[in-house]
Amino acid sequence: MTIHAIIGGTGLTELTGMTDLEPLHLDTPYGPPSAPVLRGEFAGRPVLFLARHGHPHRIPPHQVNYRANLWALKEAGAEAVLAMNAVGGIHMAMGSGHFCVPHQLIDYTYGREHTFFAGALEHVTHVDFSYPYDPALRQHLIAALAAEGYAFSDHGVYGCTQGPRLETAAEVVRLERDGCDIVGMTGMPEAVLARELDLPYACLSLVVNPAAGKTAGVITMAEIEAVLAEGIGKARAVLARVLAG
């Protein structure tokens, strides 16, 4: 039985329904993770959970210790990673409340510690990253979304920006021109670090707002929080179905 790790993003700082909780206070060669890794059961299966931004939500996306997070999950016994991300919608199909299981990504971040292969190395290591998301995990997410009857897209390009500010309307035009369907701030380097650790990784993205310039009004946190309030419960149902399946 595969031991899945769930990385919770904005709105998912705890996994309601998780039982037999055991907090693991792990240190890593890269410092402490965002929060203790929680080991327990969810949907009748063993699971690990980590709040990407800490609990309470306090670490901005550009300051998340992604290397420590992934290392700690691997040390705790994770064999696959399901990541939850709140994103903005660029493509017209990506309205608020819509789910997307991205198949590709473009990294626009800078200055983040983005690899384990750095420092005094015996040899240079390159990992293939042509297809950043694990196909089998993606299909499990897609099947779970379809079974729950939620509105979703079974593919999409995730554009990862630096944050913590939201994008300008002109930047979103550029992202759209580059082929991005959704935009978030936490998809990288998380995905490539999982690849470097040989951890299958897939992402469940919840669109919480139209990207900048896609509506006449400004983007408000009240709008985002309202979508999260409904969408996170749906996301938990999807994750439970993936694990139970």
Q: Which residues are annotated as a binding site for substrate?
A: 185, 209-211
Burial classification of residue 16, based on how many CB atoms lie within 10 Å of its CB (0-12 exposed, 13-18 middle, 19 or more buried)? exposed
Relative to beta strand 182-184, strand 45-51 is: unpaired
Contact criterion met (CB below 8 Å) for 127 and 195: yes
d(C-alpha 43, C-alpha 39), whole Å: 13
The one-character DSSP state at 94 is -
Cβ 178 vs Cβ 158: under 8 Å: no
Which residues are known binding-site members? 10, 52-53, 185-186, 209-211
Q: 62: which DSSP letter?
A: G
Indicate left, alpha or beta for 192 from its phi (over 0: left) and psi (-120 to 50: alpha): alpha
Task: List, as residue ranges, the binding site for phosphate.
Answer: 10, 52-53, 186
